[in-house]
Amino acid sequence: MKKSSGGKELYGMVIDLDKCIGCGACAVACMAENNLAFRYDETDKLKSATWMRLYRLSNGQPYPRTRVVYLPRPCMHCQHHTPCVSVCPVTATQMDEKGIVSQIYSRCIGCRYCMAACPYHVRYFNWWDPVFPKGLENYLNPDISVAMRGVVSKCTFCNHRYQRAKDRAYMEDRRDLKESEYITACTEACPTKAIAFGNLKDPQSQVAKLKKSPKAFRLLEKLGSEPKVYYLSTQDWVRRQGDNVLKEEVARKAS
Ligand code: SF4
Ligand code: SF4
């Protein structure tokens, strides 16, 4: 398994759930950017590929104590023993030196081991040939191949945007990218700036600062897969639904 080198870059995301209004702009931007064909019949959610999916969380309390939060969920780009990478028999999914877990369609044999291994259910099997509304095929993103029937696809942190940003930097005789030169389509589309994206290894970056917040948590952190997507929430019940054990609870149990 290719592991992140000791390089200067390690990309990650911080999503502020206190700012998210559940509008879905991130999910729409993701589909447009990555040439994902939508299905007219959305009754079977398991057959749709929505790399950025919105979940509605509720505290389960009756009115007027009801609280609802929307949780956008991309691939977590797990840093440690990346579960999907560990099980793929044909190295169709790999993590590069900047921490991005990619998917190579032409290698994928559709065995779906990676889907079974992924604890976050972020991978999608293409059950059908992608069909775009008439005319839309002329507006597909030329930087992204369309995933064909029989392969698995997933969020790649818009890796093609990194390549584009690097190309631009080389034209200007630069090696390093400035912050915000490379961001994902969902980050760009979010109207409330709930999503921050950047280099976790740069101590001056917004994501490096936000992830240190006492409000920060990660989903299923106890699995030890070291997801590089962090969430922020001021509400304990939200952090608890991320399957995190709150520090106060540990102290209470110990006493
Ligand atoms: S969230 Fe799932 S698909 Fe993404 S890196 Fe982790 S195991 Fe792989
Ligand atoms: S675009 Fe922003 S506000 Fe809208 S659902 Fe996505 S994260 Fe939430």
pLDDT at 43 over 90: no
For ligand 2, atom 4, the nearest C-alpha belongs to 23
Q: How confident is the model at residue 1 (pLDDT cuts 50, 70, 90)?
A: very low
Distance (angstroms) between ligand 2 centre and the Cα of 218 equals 18
What is the C-alpha end-to-end distance of the chain, expressed in Å? Answer: 43
Does the CB atom of residue 101 touch ligand 1 within 6 A?
yes
Q: Percentage of the chain with pLDDT > 70?
A: 92
Give, in order, the Cα–Cα distances in Å from 7 to each of 2, 10, 182, 198, 201. 13, 8, 17, 15, 9
Query: What is residue 22's predicted lDDT score, i.e. its pLDDT?
Result: 97
For ligand 2, atom 8, the nearest C-alpha belongs to 20
Tens digits of per-residue pLDDT, 151-172? 999 999 999 999 999 999 999 9
The reply to whether the predicted model has a pTM over 0.85 is yes
Does the CB atom of residue 152 touch ligand 1 within 6 A?
no
Tens digits of per-residue pLDDT, 59-113? 999 999 999 999 999 999 999 999 999 999 999 999 999 999 999 999 999 999 9
Distance (angstroms) between ligand 2 centre and the Cα of 174 equals 33
For residues 211 and 14, give the distance between their C-alpha atoms in angstroms, rounded to a whole number. Answer: 7
| Token pair in block for residue 159 | 């890796």
241, 218 in Cβ contact below 8 A?
Answer: no
Does the CB atom of residue 22 touch ligand 2 within 6 A?
yes
Q: How confident is the model at residue 114 (pLDDT cuts 50, 70, 90)?
A: very high
Does the CB atom of residue 34 touch ligand 1 within 6 A?
no
Does the CB atom of residue 28 touch ligand 2 within 6 A?
no
Query: What is residue 48's predicted lDDT score, i.e. its pLDDT?
Result: 79
For ligand 2, atom 1, the nearest C-alpha belongs to 190
Does the CB atom of residue 158 touch ligand 1 within 6 A?
no
Rounded average pLDDT over 201-212: 97
For residues 83 and 220, give the distance between their C-alpha atoms in angstroms, rounded to a whole number. Answer: 13
